[in-house]
Structures are given as C-alpha cells and as structure tokens.
Amino acid sequence: MQDKYYELTITLDDSFVDVIADYILNIYDEGVELGKGEIIVRSESDLTFVKDALVSLSENLENPIQMTYTLEEKENVDWIKTYQDSIQPIEAGKFYIFPSWYEAKKDFINIKIDPALAFGSGHHATTFSCLEAISTYVRSEDRVIDVGCGSGILGLACKKLGATVELCDTDPLSVESCKENFGLNEEGYDKLWEGSIDKASTAYDVVIANIIADVLRFIAKDLKTAVTDNGYLILSGILDKKEDLVKESFKDLTLEKRTLKDEWVTLVYKKEAHG
C-alpha cells in the first residue's frame, strides 16, 4: 500500500448525483462513494483524468451541470476498508441485501452484492422501492425482464422468487457487473444482452425499468408493448418533479401503486386486458 492516495470530491445538485456517478463508473470503477449532493472518488493514482472528463462532459451538454471539484492528496489509511465499513446491509421487502463481508440473514431472501456504487446495492431510494414492489408483484411462475439492469440486483431478486428472468442494459460494464453478481449468488439468468427493451423477443408478466424519467418516456411504447395483458410495469428512477411527465406517457395503463422515497418516485402500473 502506498503512503498517499488521492481523493476527488465533486459537489453538485443532488438530483444529478446518480447520472454523474454512472458516468464516472464508465471510466473508473473503484472507491466511488455517493453522498447528499456530492460524489467522492478515491485512488492511489492521480484522479485528474476523472476531473478533466467531467469538465469536458459538462461543457458538451446542452444544459451544463454545475460541478465544483476538490482534489486532495491524503495519508493512505486503509480507505478501502473504510469504504467497506460505510456500506451497511439493508432489508427491503422480502430481501436482505448484503456485501460479501457480512453474513446472510435468516427469514429473508438473501442477495449478496459487492458494490462499486451504493445505488447498485439497494441503498438508493429507487432500488429500495423497486425491491419492495418486486416483493409484492412478482410471483414464482412469472416471466420478468429488468430493463437497464445495472448491477442486476432487481433481476436477482426476481430469480430468487422463482421467476424466469431476462435482463438488458445499454452499458457493457453493467452487463459484465450483472454477470458477476449472478455468479456471486450462484444464480443463472435466462437471457442477458447489451441493448434495450426493443430487442426483446417475447412479452413479460412483469417489466421492471429503474431508469431516469426522460429515458422512461422515450421508450414508453416499447415498455408497454412488452407487458402481457394483466401484467405489471414497475417504473422507477423518477424525480418527483418529473413524475407528471412520466404519468402522461403511461396514462393508458392503470396506476396500481405510487411510492415516494427521498424525492424519488416508483410507479407500478397494470396493463388491463381489453375485449
């Protein structure tokens, strides 16, 4: 272990933390910690390249995201252990989500996730609310797809309930992370691909999409087409200020449940059979 390490703190509007953290994960996937209105990146190598990449990203956006940066060199305590200690197991619905340095828990369905980012391990409000919805709406005989699967945690939850599970994500790193986490849990998915719901070849009893609101609106038609009659659509990743825009795109479905947690909304719709 080197004597020094680098710590980059990015301060920004809290509503952009997930989006920017996801971007960072594409170029650096270790020691990333999320906080309220901030992201902290740690490494034994200089992190100037991460800062420069974020500056370039913001400059090329139509509406630049305001970010401030603090890059410090610090004494190298065991920050990896410190980071691990900051990730606590959680209980969400029927599930207990825990990193590999904790023990499984009785009376819960256990899912082991070693997070690179906290929102991929059930801690983020959207993931937590989706796990609660899965506990209620997914049954053992269901055919399920997780769109924008990320770490694969939601698909894993469905698989552990006995469902047939397919997953997809447009990010190749997420596809690899999903594979690793299914392996970590000694579970097998039924299909996994790089891309989105438009590549699906069948219809599903439950479609799960924990993605940002603008993407949900963009792929709304494909999501609705993919749900069987009397099936359910679990939508999350929706900031409360964009809830009405999402609802407009799915107004032809029946809203079964709305959950608000930490400014994030999860909506469960039912596709009623007609005729």
Closest alpha carbon to 134 in 123, 144, 120? 144
The mean pLDDT value for 137-144 works out to 97
8 Å CB contact between 98 and 89? yes
Of 215 and 275, the structure prediction assigns the larger pLDDT to: 215
Give alpha helix (H) positions in 142-250: 153-160, 172-184, 213-218, 220-225, 243-249
Which one is predicted more confidently, 168 or 64? 168
Q: How many residues does the chain have?
A: 275
- Residue 116, pLDDT > 60, answer no
Rg of the chain on CA atoms, in Å: 19
Mean pLDDT throughout 55-68? 87
The pLDDT tens digits of the residues spanning 179-226 come to 999 999 999 999 999 999 999 989 999 999 999 888 999 999 999 999
204, 228 in Cβ contact below 8 A? yes
Fold entry, domain 133-270: Rossmann fold (3.40.50)
Q: Residue 111: helix, strand or coil by DSSP?
A: strand
Torsion of CA 68, 73, 77, 82, to 10 degrees: 10
**Domain residue limits, the chain:** 4-84, 133-270
- Grouping H, G, I as helix, E, B as strand and the rest as coil, residue 135 is helix
How would residue 2 be classed by pLDDT, with cut points 50, 70 and 90? low
All residues at 6 or more sequence positions from 275 whose CB lies less than 8 Å from its CB, including other chains = none
**Listed range (165-169, 170-174, 271-275) with the worst mean pLDDT:** 271-275
Q: Enter the pTM of the model.
A: 0.73
Q: What is the CATH number of domain 4-84?
A: 3.30.70.790
Q: Residue 55 pLDDT > 50, yes or no?
A: yes
